[in-house]
Every structure is written in structure tokens, then in C-alpha cells.
A and B are shown apart, each in its own frame.
Chain A
Amino acid sequence: MALQEKYSDLITAAKSAGGIQVNELGGVLYIKGQASSAALKDRLWDLYGKADPNFLTGDVVMDVDVAGIGEGSKLKVTTDTSSLNMRKGPGTDQPLVGKAPHGGTVTLLSKTNDQWWLVRNDAGEEGYAYAQYLSPM
């Protein structure tokens, strides 16, 4: 119950969004699903950060994807500074087949899993990139 109180704003926002499941199990709140927009995803993370500054306690696991990022979507490369590696297969053990520049755009070809997406860069090279560094335009 304490969890429900601590994160009441976050839970309310997640539940009212639709498409997002909120479950409590073993003292951890699991928030999973699809957000209708990147703005909603940002808002949920802001609410989480307000209730638990810097997300350090570990009583929430939140995995919210932004819906509507389909094949053919343009994605922005949001690495810190370096270019984004594109690999032959989904994994850092796979050889490099190309790079996408920091701040540049790539085209989504397929979402292999939550971590790795197959993309094409401006040079026409195709490879698997780490999804965390790709944001919808």
C-alpha cells in the first residue's frame, strides 16, 4: 500500500493513459506498456523522478514504449556525442556494418526486439542499432 501512495500520481497517469499495465508484486511496482506519444513517456518518467529522486530506490520497474514507431519511421540518433554503431546482427559482439552520425536520422526497417532495431542510414547501409539511442522525430 505504501508504494501505491508514494507513486499515486505516476499510477494515476499510467492507468488513465490506456495501454499501460500497472502491477505490484513483491514490493516492486511494474509499469509496462505502450505510451501514445513520446511526451506521455517523458511525463511518466518525470512523475517517477518526482516521487523517487534519481530513481535510486529500485521499487519501480518502468518499461514504456512509444506506440506508433512503425517500419519506415524516421528516427533521430540521440547518442551523447559519438556516432551510433550499426551491426550485422543484434548484439555488441556482432561486426560493424556502418555508422549513423550523432543527431542524424535513420529509417526503421524492423524492431527485432526491445533492445535492437534494424535501421538504414543516409548512406543506404543497413544494420542493427541499439534502440535506446533512437528517438521518434
Chain B
Amino acid sequence: MNMKKIGSGVLIACTLFFASCAPKDAEINKNVAENVQPVASGISTDVKDGVATLSGQVKDEATRTAAEDAAKKATGVKSVVNNITVVVPEPVVTLSPDDALQKGLNDIMKDYPGATAVVTNGEILVTGTLSAEKWKRLKMSLDALNPKKVDAVTLKIINP
């Protein structure tokens, strides 16, 4: 019987608790979201008993910290649980397709009779013989075409 009493007491306490807290949390959550969104978009926020939880992904640690600081400043927030993860985006490197590389090579290679260049899967393979100075200039030209790689390990360099 005692247990039953305690049980109903807890039930009443919980009901009262939620009745008083739930709308307040919703209100706080609105404040948190308003503060966090300008700092880090795409972050979801949740508030329970005045404790704000942030989750989602950002691209650096500074944004993660800034989002937490913004959430702390929101009216009614007691503390912040920062579940935001930092995901560094893959580096963006512009690479030319083979036909664009081949077109560039046609223009460039006529000035380098000692060497041959072949394009395969975005890579340029250079073979033959060139002076160090000419090769440096050729390498600069080839790199400007945005190849994936310029392979010249078998190229013979002569110093005039």
C-alpha cells in the first residue's frame, strides 16, 4: 500500500512538473534556436528542464564553440550539452577532363620537340629528354592545365 502511495505521489509530482516546465522549455528552445541559427545554420536544438542540447554538423571547431556560446546566452538556459560534431569537408580540387588536357597539350607540346606527353585518366605522363630549364617551363604549363598529376619520373634531364 505504501508503494502505491509513493507511486501516485511521483505521478502527481511528474504531472505538475511537466505542466509547469514543458511550455517554459519550449519558450527557451525558441530563444536558443534564435541565438544559434545565425552562428551555425542547420543545427537542431532541444531544451529539457532548462538544459539545452545542440546537435548537428559544422565544418570547424570555432563554429562548434560559437554555437555553444550563443546557446548559453539564450534567456532561461541553465546549461548546454554540445553534441555538435565537426566534419571537415573534402578539399575541393579542380581537375580537368582528358579532352581538355589533350587540347592544352596540343598547344603546349609543339614547343618541346624532345619530349612526349600522354594523357590518361586525368594524369599527364611526360617522357623523353629536356634541359632542366625547358622542363621547368613545361612543368609550369602542364600544372596550369589542372591535371590530376604530372608524372615525369622517366624523363631525362640534361644540363646544357
Contacts and interface: CB of A to CB of B under 8 A. Distances in A.
Interface of A: 23-26, 28, 30, 32, 45, 49, 54-59, 61-63, 80, 91-92, 114-115, 130, 132
Contacts of B144: 63, 114-115, 132
Given A55-B136, A132-B137, A132-B141, A26 B107 contact: no
Contacts of B152: 55-56, 58
16 contacts: A23-B91, A26-B148, A55-B135, A55-B139, A56-B157, A57-B153, A58-B149, A58-B151, A58-B153, A61-B150, A91-B103, A92-B106, A115-B107, A115-B108, A130-B107, A132-B144
Given A26-B148, A57-B153, A63 B107 contact: no
Interface residues of B, number: 32
Q: 3 closest pairs, A vs B, by CB? A: A23-B91, A58-B151, A30-B93
Contacts of B107: 91-92, 115, 130
B146 interface: yes
A89 B108 CA distance: 15
Main secondary structure of the interface of A (DSSP, over half): mixed
Interface of B: 90-94, 103-104, 106-108, 110, 132, 134-137, 139-141, 143-153, 155, 157
Contacts of A91: 103, 107
A115 B147 contact: no
Main secondary structure of the interface of B (DSSP, over half): mixed
A61 B135 contact: no
Contacts of B157: 54, 56
A96 to B, nearest CB: 14
Contact of B149 (A28, A130, A132): A28
B118 to A, nearest CB: 13
Contacts of B91: 23-25, 30
B151 to A, nearest CB: 4
B157 to A, nearest CB: 5
